[in-house]
Amino acid sequence: MEEQIIRGEYADIMQQSYIDYAMSVIIARALPDVRDGLKPVQRRTLYDMYELGIRYDRPYRKCARIVGDTMGKYHPHGDSSIYDALVVMAQDFKKGMILVDGHGNFGSIEGDGAAAMRYTEARLARISQEAFLGDLDKDVVDFVPNFDETEREPEVLPVRIPNLLVNGAEGIAVGMVTSIPTHNLGEVIDGVKAMIRKSDLTTEELMKYIKGPDFPTGGIVVNEKDLCALYETGQGKIRLRGKVEVEPVKGGRERLVITEIPYTMLGANIGKFLNDVAALVETRKTTDIMDISNQSSKAGIRIVLELRKGADTNQLKNLLYKKTRLEDTFGVNMLAVAEGRPETLGLRQILEYHIDFLFEVTTRKYKNLLEKEEKKKEIQEGLIRACDIIDLIIEILRGSKSRDQVKACLVDGVTQGIRFKSEKSRKLAAKLNFTEAQANAILDMRLYRLIGLEIEVLMKEHEATLANLASYTDILNHYDSMARVIIKELDDYKKTFGRPRRTALENAEEVVLEEPRLEPVPVVLLMDRFGYVRTVDESVYERNKEAADAESRYVLPCMNTDRICIFTDTGKEHLLKVQDVPHGKFRDKGTPLDNLCNYDSSQESFVAVLPLNDIADTRVTFVTVQGMVKQVQGKEFDVAKRTVAATKLQEQDAVLAVLALPEQSHLALATEKGYFLRFPAAEIPEKKKGAVGVRGIRLSPEDKVREVYCLGKDQPQEIEYQGKTIPASRLKPAARDGKGTKLKL
């Protein structure tokens, strides 16, 4: 075969390939289908369990068997993705309604992982079998080939309840993400019924039935007023709070008990919450918490905070809501695959798609049942007619030589080759016109069916068949009749599987945390060259002044209410509250700066530490290793954020010094090659934080600024160079942007 070379633009081929990949991830892996609310891996796992006969009323089977069979037949993407999906469908703290009945260690609400699949067992939950897979044998959905076309799998499961809302969904695709909260089964069924009866309901009217999300962990939704807009657009934020109760303790004390947590606190975030509460105590944000213990068990969440006598429980609740994840935000983006494409859907749209799917499945089901009843009716009519002329049929059977000969006589009245007792019998036989199916049924009929009681049973079966035919025809031909059938099924599911709402809904006020008023006290902040920082009392500093000055890189007298600006070589400013710095004895080691603000010692180094109050009403001078200089108004650094960009840097540049220069002072720049340039600070122009600045000194290739000196009336009149002390008078003032002079010793 001759080789064919297809030429094309590389960019076009890559673009098309990436689009194909992205759509594959979106449709075939990450997003649920709006009809059954399942991702492909979930759908395939449930169907495989159904095919293996692992029903809710049968023994459990090893999860390894389920995972292996699913991977080999339907989902060739690795065993971990299948087992993870299986585990989540069995966790009642993640799903509004479990779809798999797990036996063994399937993880915990505190983030413990499930045991290996060789140890755990599972079977279908009852609702999965009845409401998800119950009608698969009635040709209600289309089947498609699997990945290697050796098996067939359902394109979608015939789910009878709006699973997308009941169990929610989470998934990350390429360039899009879905996050749908769980809802109460009974409420969602009531909403579906209401829309079936009246299809033009508004979102606000639907919310009379579907109040809001219902998370398996309970908790409280505190922005109920925002839910209508969220359900209208399919996007928004839900503010969740844990449920906190106050319990009295002996001795007149009280304790706070957290009995429900926000859904977002699942897993490792419970441990993080405990650490955050401990941090509040360590940093003295509160002194009322004496002990914290996690007493959670299979019975539910129970986190206990022991309090001091007389503690303000309301203030403590607000502190927990404000400073920990006990109040958190759940971002909602109701994205699902609808008609083969990803679409963000509102509440009404989800219910409309589901109701259309319900009517489609029900129509296909009753068409299938109608077809079966019509075939049954045909057989029954043939058997009843055969019973009336049973003597003639027996005569035909006895006079025939083969089954085909009898069948030809029954269907077409062919009597050649058949011996009859009389000509009358031959003429009657020639008039027979049973259908082929009726003829086969007569030939397969057993003699006991000729008993009188059996004939009566046959007549009653025929009457039931006629009644079913009338009923099915009515259902298929009339919307109201089909709606009644669907509503009855939904009522049965609600009665069998419904449960009370767990999540409370309310409109709560924003938490206002009354920070305890800090009494201003003068302190001294000490910071060593390794970035360990602490504060001590002024009197402690005065007693140890010589040692403190020798051991500390920065010694800053300030108030405990002040803020400190930490400037780094990467051009960042980190703001640090003095009250957040540990206060202690002089010989305490202190706390690393990394633990107190966003400073990262592995990525940056501090070049200046200045109290914000000292620079707020003056100008701050920046000098970089490439000789760039500028002045910035100090008030620009008084910001709310903990970290901001203090200056803009050129490529390969770094901040060397940040100074608060006095009036009428001079700036002296010293380079690595020994060049010095002294010029008045007044020549440095004022710029904004986002500016690069201007050139302070012209550098020769491979040279850079090494030291910066501030020279003035109240400043040192000497400088250090190559280990020697040089009078500042040797540096003659010049203009900014000069090359400088090389100092000779």
Q: Which residues are catalytic?
A: 119
What count of other Cβ atoms lies within 10 Å of the Cβ of residue 319? 22
Task: Please report, for residues 385, 399, 407, 428, 586, the alpha-carbon distance to residue 418 in angstroms, rounded to integers and kept in the order given.
Answer: 21, 5, 12, 13, 123
Query: Can you tell me the distance from the alpha carbon of 22 to that of 16, in angstroms, rounded to the nearest whole number?
Result: 10
C-alpha neighbours within 13 Å on the C-beta side of residue 406: 19
Measure the N-to-C terminal CA separation of the chain; round to a whole number of Å: 85
For the chain, how many helices (H) and strands (E)? 21, 35
C-alpha neighbours within 13 Å on the C-beta side of residue 415: 20
Residue 106 contacts residue 90 (beta carbons within 8 Å): yes
In 3D, which of 183, 104, 75 has the Cα closest to residue 498?
Answer: 183
Q: Which H/E stretch holds residue 271? A: helix 268-282
In 3D, which of 271, 318, 278 has the Cα closest to residue 294?
Answer: 271
Rg (CA), the chain: 41
Angle between helices 347-388 and 436-444 (to 10 degrees): 60
Query: Can you tell me the distance from the alpha carbon of 156 to that of 40, in angstroms, rounded to the nearest whole number?
Result: 9
Q: What is the 3-state secondary structure (H, E, C) of 456-523?
A: HHHHHHHHHHHHHHHHHHHHHHCHHHHHHHHHHHHHHHHHHHCCCCCCEECECCCCCCCCCCCCCCEE
Q: Which residue has the tokens 């929610």?
A: 168
Largest CA distance in the chain: 149
Residue 262 contacts residue 327 (beta carbons within 8 Å): yes
Beta-carbon contacts of 498 under 8 Å, excluding residues fewer than 6 positions away, are 184, 185, 186, 189
Both tokens of 303, joined, read 């986190």
Hey, what amino acid is at 54? I
What count of other Cβ atoms lies within 10 Å of the Cβ of residue 491? 14
Query: Can you tell me the distance from the alpha carbon of 177 to that of 357, in angstroms, rounded to the nearest whole number?
Result: 24
Beta-carbon contacts of 339 under 8 Å, excluding residues fewer than 6 positions away, are none
In 3D, which of 106, 104, 99 has the Cα closest to residue 128?
Answer: 99
The number of angstroms, rounded, from the C-alpha of 155 to the middle of its chain's C-alpha atoms is 25
Hey, what amino acid is at 251? G
The number of angstroms, rounded, from the C-alpha of 728 to the middle of its chain's C-alpha atoms is 64
What count of other Cβ atoms lies within 10 Å of the Cβ of residue 413? 16
The number of angstroms, rounded, from the C-alpha of 550 to the middle of its chain's C-alpha atoms is 53
Query: Can you tell me the distance from the alpha carbon of 46 to that of 52, in angstroms, rounded to the nearest whole number?
Result: 10
Let me know if 343 is exposed, middle or buried by CB neighbors in 10 A (0-12, 13-18, 19+).
middle
Hey, what amino acid is at 739? K
Both tokens of 710, joined, read 């501030």
Both tokens of 187, joined, read 């409420």
Q: Which residue has the tokens 């009522």?
A: 491
Task: Please report, for residues 26, 138, 281, 427, the alpha-carbon distance to residue 22 in angstroms, rounded to integers and kept in the order given.
Answer: 6, 35, 48, 74
The string of DSSP codes covering 355-398 is HHHHHHHHHHHHHHHHHHHHHHHHHHHHHHHHHHTHHHHHHHHH
Query: Can you tell me the distance from the alpha carbon of 39 to that of 168, in angstroms, rounded to the nearest whole number?
Result: 11
Query: Can you tell me the distance from the alpha carbon of 289 to that of 75, in angstroms, rounded to the nearest whole number?
Result: 51
Both tokens of 394, joined, read 């027996």
Residue 380 contacts residue 458 (beta carbons within 8 Å): yes
